[in-house]
Structures are given as C-alpha cells and as structure tokens.
Amino acid sequence: MSSWIHRFKPSSWRDVFLLALASRLAWICLAVVFDLLVTDHVAQGVVELKSLDTLHWALRPFVKWDSAHLLNIAEEGYANEMESAFFPLYPLAVRSVRSFMSAYVFPSLENNINGIVLSALTMNSVLLFPASSVVLLALLCRW
C-alpha cells in the first residue's frame, strides 16, 4: 500500500518549489492590498522602524510588530535593552542578503531601510520558504 507522498518523483520537487514561490508571491500581493484597504490597529508601546518615513508604501505591510525590532537590529544593531530578547541570526542573515543584493543586484539598496525590508522579504519568500517546502517533501518521501 503506497501513500500519496510516494507518487512524487524528484522532478516534481521543482514543482513544489515553484508552487511555494507562487504562494508566497500571492501572499505578498494580498498583504499589500489589505494594508491599503484596512486601517492599522494603533497599539501602545509598539516599536516602529526608526526610518519609517522613507519606507516605500509597498513595503509597509512587512514592518509591523516584531519585524520592526528585527529590522532595526539588522539596520543598526542592538540599540536598546528590549531588542536583546531577539536572537542575532535572523538580523545577521538579513544584513548579509542586503550586502549581496546591493553588491550584485541593486546597488542603491546599500544604506536605506527599503534595502533591509526588501532583503528580509527576499530571504523569507524567495529563498527560505520554497527551500523548506522542498526539504519537507524530501523528508516525507523518505518516511
């Protein structure tokens, strides 16, 4: 008795990667549309990005709540005691992706907040989520 997961062949791993990528791109589009349509809840004590006024309107949905802390750490390092609750791996990875993207893809991203947010979005949606979907498929195929 074979399960449905064993019907996947290695050639379909590419399909899983592309499907995961398409779902993330659809999620990004929906986030931008709903950010324009729905007003934000104004909470007290929420940290905002220090350079929020220069942020592009399409990137605003992705700088809410904890992401503001992580992006501030990626941009400026640990500036206050509250940010010490966040581990340094994610901000370091975002900063590395921004350095790579500014060196090889978009040179204008080097020293602005749009570069940090775009790098985080690229890392999460284009690299990590589709790759983790393929890894999950590989683990399920072995099981």
Binned at pLDDT 50, 70 and 90, residue 56 comes out as confident
Looking up tokens 């975002």, which residue turns up? 94
Q: Is the pLDDT of residue 85 over 50?
A: yes
Token pair recorded at residue 81: 């005691």
- Token pair 């929420």 is found at 46
pLDDT classification of 46: cutoffs 50, 70, 90: low
Categorize the per-residue pLDDT at 4 as very low, low, confident or very high, splitting at 50, 70 and 90. low
Which residues lie closer than 8 Å to 113 by C-beta, 6 or more apart?
A: 49, 51, 52, 54, 55, 71, 75
In whole angstroms, what is the distance from residue 37 CA to residue 27 CA?
Answer: 15
For 100, other C-beta atoms within 10 Å of its C-beta total: 13
SS3 state of residue 63: coil
pLDDT at 3: 61
Q: How far is CA 127 from CA 21, 55, 65, 123, 142, in A?
A: 9, 23, 22, 5, 23
From 100, 24, 30, 38, select the one nearest 58 (Cα to Cα). Answer: 30
pLDDT band of residue 111 (cuts 50, 70, 90) is confident
Mean pLDDT of the chain: 78
| pLDDT of 127 higher than 90 | no
pLDDT of res. 1: 46
Both ends of the chain: CA-CA distance in Å? 14
Greater confidence, 90 or 55?
90
Q: Model pTM greater than 0.85? A: no
Q: Between residues 49 and 98, which one has the greater pLDDT? A: 98
In the chain, what percentage of residues exceed pLDDT 90?
A: 4
